[in-house]
């Protein structure tokens, strides 16, 4: 999956980029067509004790935007939590799409001809 990363008050290292890529590959395996993916990293400025990292993932799928925001003291833990939420949303989106395709039509073809 191709994704763009943006950071504010955080340095995104190569190892962090690879870690994120390995986590987002799980979403790609589900087989949902993604139009774009944007990941924002930032350090929350509202907390005075310690660093609180914010990870925001925006994924565009046909007809919908999946958006996840997660806060945590460890940036890798925030990535883990955000990708888990993203996986749940993608599975829900995929199951809704499959259910619509399987739903019987309102007017079956044999009843319309009679």
CA 29 – CA 70 distance, rounded (Å)? 22
Lowest mean pLDDT among 18-22, 24-28, 83-87: 24-28
Report the CATH number of the 4-88 domain.
3.30.160.100
DSSP for 33-49, written as a single string = --SEEEEEEEE-SS-SS
Domain ranges of the chain: 4-88
Model confidence band, residue 107 (pLDDT cutoffs 50, 70, 90): low
| pLDDT score for 108 | 65
Retrieve residue 17's tokens: 């980029």
pLDDT greater than 80 at residue 109:
no
Dmax over Cα atoms in the chain, in whole Å?
Answer: 74
- Closest Cα to residue 71, out of 61, 63, 81, 62? 81
pLDDT tens digits, 12-25: 899 999 999 999 88
Q: Tell me the pTM.
A: 0.79
Question: Which DSSP category does 59 fall into?
Answer: E
Confidence of residue 75 (pLDDT cuts 50, 70, 90): very high
């Amino acid at each position: 999956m191709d994704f763009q990363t943006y950071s504010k008050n955080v340095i995104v290292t190569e190892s962090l980029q690879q870690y994120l890529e390995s986590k987002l590959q799980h979403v790609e395996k589900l087989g949902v067509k993604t139009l774009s993916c944007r990941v924002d990293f930032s350090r929350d400025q509202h907390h005075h004790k310690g660093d609180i990292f914010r990870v925001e993932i925006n994924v565009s799928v046909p007809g919908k935007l999946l958006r996840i925001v997660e806060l945590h003291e460890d940036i890798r833990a925030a990535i883990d939590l955000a990708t888990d939420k993203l996986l749940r949303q993608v599975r829900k989106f995929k199951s809704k799409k499959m259910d619509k395709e399987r739903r019987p039509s309102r007017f079956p073809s044999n009843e319309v001809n009679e």
